[in-house]
Amino acid sequence: LQFTEEKLGQAEKTELDAHFENLLARADCTKNWTEKILRQTEVLLQPNPSARVEEFLYEKLDRKVPSRVTNGELLAQYMTEAANDFGPGTPYGKTLIKVGETQRRLGAAEREFIRSASINFLTPLRNFLEGDWKTISKERRILQNRRLDLDACKARLKKAKAAEAKAAVTL
């Protein structure tokens, strides 16, 4: 009732401290940007949406995500196979082997980067959203309910005093 009356402008609302309101606004901003950064980093690390969904499901089921061959490693594999078909002794075969080995190392570095970014960058962001932010939201709801209770009590007290003053005037 108090919440509805406040929204309709029929009841007074106890204002929170300006510094506290600023902290709440900063917390909301932090949450929104953290979600955006997390989502975009996941897209950067895994551009394939179906693969991201698969990884999400594995994560929620507490299963190990199967390791995927990176595009660089796949290209390296094709180059090595092509080099073997052309013959490793031919100039083209030698070049394919060298470039294929370089691509394999690049693919391995990419895999390590993805693993490292996931552990060292995405995990803290997820921990904030799934842990700290849930606590902040819960405490915010509790504070809001307590404030509504306080305002409702103030309104009842005000009505009681008004009724008491009215009764004293009529006697």
- Between 90-94, 123-127, 136-140, 148-152, the lowest mean confidence (pLDDT) is in 148-152
**Among 69, 75, 77, which Cα is nearest to 51's?**
69
pLDDT confidence tier of residue 151, bands split at 50, 70 and 90: confident
**Residue 34 clears pLDDT 70, i.e. is over it:** yes
* Domain housing 50: 1-170
CB of 111 closer than 8 Å to CB of 69 = no
The CA-based angle 60-123-36, given to 5 degrees, is 90
Q: For all residues of the chain together, what is the average pLDDT? A: 89
Number of separate domains in the chain: 1
**Residue 67 clears pLDDT 90, i.e. is over it:** no
Helices first, then strands: H and E counts in the chain? 7, 0
SS3 17: coil
pLDDT top residue among 108 and 10: 108
Residue 38: per-residue pLDDT: 96
pLDDT top residue among 159 and 128: 128
pLDDT tens track for 87-129: 999 999 999 999 999 999 999 999 999 999 989 999 999 999 9
pLDDT confidence tier of residue 4, bands split at 50, 70 and 90: confident
Please tell me the distance from the alpha carbon of residue 149 to that of residue 1, in angstroms, as a whole number.
10
pLDDT tens track for 101-112: 999 999 999 999
CATH assignment of the domain containing 65:
1.20.1270.60
Strand blocks (E) in 23-99: none
